[in-house]
Chains A and B, each alone.
Chain A
Amino acid sequence: MSSEYDTTETLDVKGQSCPMPVVKTKQSIDDLEAGEILEVVATDSGSMSDIQGWATGTDGVELLDQVEGDGIYTHYVKSTE
């Protein structure tokens, strides 16, 4: 599946449930430079709300998009610092 974003890295958290998608996203984004984009692929439906809430409440990250389809929830998170 191609995306409109130029992603630097992909984090696969398929099969994992709360709190893993958020916690691992945080750990992965910390390794990226400002401007780089992380793609997070999850199967946890709660990740739609959780990643959004986390991105809103956390400095240095920006949620670009969330895509849902075929039981897969894909999130695009940009590091801003």
Chain B
Amino acid sequence: MSTDNPSASVDGEIDADELLALRERVDELEASVAEMDDDSGKKMTIIATQGTFDMAYPPLILASTAAAFDWDVVVFHTFWGLDILHEENSKNLKLSAVGNPNMPMPNAVAALPGMDAMATKMMRKRIDDNDTATVEELIDLSIQQGVDLQACQMTIELMGYDEDEFYDGVTTGVGAATAIQHMAESDVQLLV
């Protein structure tokens, strides 16, 4: 079987036009590689779907830390995750005593009235004693550092919230397509 390339020039010479076209192509490629190298800053997108007291922390801690690395960070809050950005609700996030095998009580007891409140109070005290930042502090810190905290518009309407009930600096009017676009451009994508 012949491996001859039928388009190769017969005499093995490249004409001037062809050479010019090749040089232009190389310049274009070099420019696009340089552009990629220049874009050294990383990007992270976190999708925050949970609104319990304990689950408010991981997205905010990771977001504020990544911002300290000069990363471009987006946190897209949807469903119960929206409560983290809701100024009033964020101060009353609850911990669930049920369904967590690490709780020092059986589920049958944890399901009794008042147990969630008790578990939340214990956790808040530990966080306070340990000088761990509050959810509000982490939100302020994240916004200060340029993290884009986004509130899903569909969920805002589903929950009957008003846009001005969220912390100053929170982005509203965004949906799944915006989140997808950020995820596609990101080096790190997390669902919390």
A58-B131 in contact (CB<8A): no
Decide: A54 near B68, CB < 8 A? Known: A19-B61, A23-B141, A59-B40: yes
User: What are the residues of chain A within 8 A of B65 when measuring CB–CB?
Assistant: 18-19, 22-23, 54
Chain A CB within 8 A of B133 CB:
yes
**Residue on A with the closest CB to B63?**
A19
Chain B CB within 8 A of A57 CB:
yes
B130-A58 in contact (CB<8A): no
A20-B68 in contact (CB<8A): no
A57-B131 in contact (CB<8A): no
Number of A-B contacts (CB under 8 A): 42
User: What are the residues of chain B within 8 A of A16 when measuring CB–CB?
Assistant: 131, 133
Chain B CB within 8 A of A45 CB:
no
**Residue on B with the closest CB to A19?**
B65
> How many whole Å from B81's CB to the nearest CB in chain A?
19
User: What are the residues of chain B within 8 A of A59 when measuring CB–CB?
Assistant: 40, 70
A20-B133 in contact (CB<8A): yes
B131-A18 in contact (CB<8A): no
**Residue on A with the closest CB to B137?**
A20
B68-A26 in contact (CB<8A): yes
User: What are the residues of chain A within 8 A of B64 when measuring CB–CB?
Assistant: 19, 23
CA separation between A68 and B83, bound complex, in Å?
40
> How many whole Å from B187's CB to the nearest CB in chain A?
12
Chain A residues with CB under 8 Å of chain B are 15-20, 22-23, 25-27, 54, 57-59
Chain B residues with CB under 8 Å of chain A are 40, 61, 64-65, 67-70, 130-133, 138, 141, 144-145
